[in-house]
């Protein structure tokens, strides 16, 4: 089995803009490892990623968010910040 070195591990960060998030749960339903969940902020539900260590870096949450509330860093290889608008979204 191939070994992974510390230099090959890419640390990611999932940032969720609570101003843009409407708590629809789309990101939760598309995450293959059930990383995301809804939390109550004020009187509204918002998505959050409390433990990002199991993230597969697939960017499914980012690509399927119709409100552009989720950004995964570093970006998907070859992705520019404006590329998200080119992906067909369920909520647009």
Considering the domain boundaries, does residue 91 fall inside one? Answer: no
DSSP 76: P
53 within some domain: yes
d(CA 84, CA 11): 21
Is residue 8 predicted with pLDDT exceeding 80?
no
* Contact between 14 and 61 (Cβ < 8 Å): yes
Report the C-alpha gap between 89 and 50 in whole angstroms. Answer: 25
Predicted local confidence at residue 3, as pLDDT = 82
Residue 37 lies in a domain: yes
pTM above 0.95, yes or no: no
Max mean pLDDT range (50-54, 60-64, 70-74): 60-64
Q: To which H or E segment does residue 28 belong?
A: helix 26-30
Q: Establish if 70 belongs to a structural domain.
A: yes
């Amino acid at each position: 089995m191939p070994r992974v070195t510390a230099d090959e591990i890419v640390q990611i960060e999932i940032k969720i803009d609570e101003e843009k998030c409407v708590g629809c749960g789309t990101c939760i339903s598309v995450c293959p490892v059930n990383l995301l969940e809804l939390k109550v902020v004020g009187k509204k539900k918002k998505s959050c990623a409390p433990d990002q260590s199991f993230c597969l870096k697939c960017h499914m949450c980012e690509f399927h968010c119709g409100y552009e509330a989720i950004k995964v860093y570093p970006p998907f290889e070859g992705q520019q910040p404006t590329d998200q608008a080119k992906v067909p979204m369920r909520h647009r």
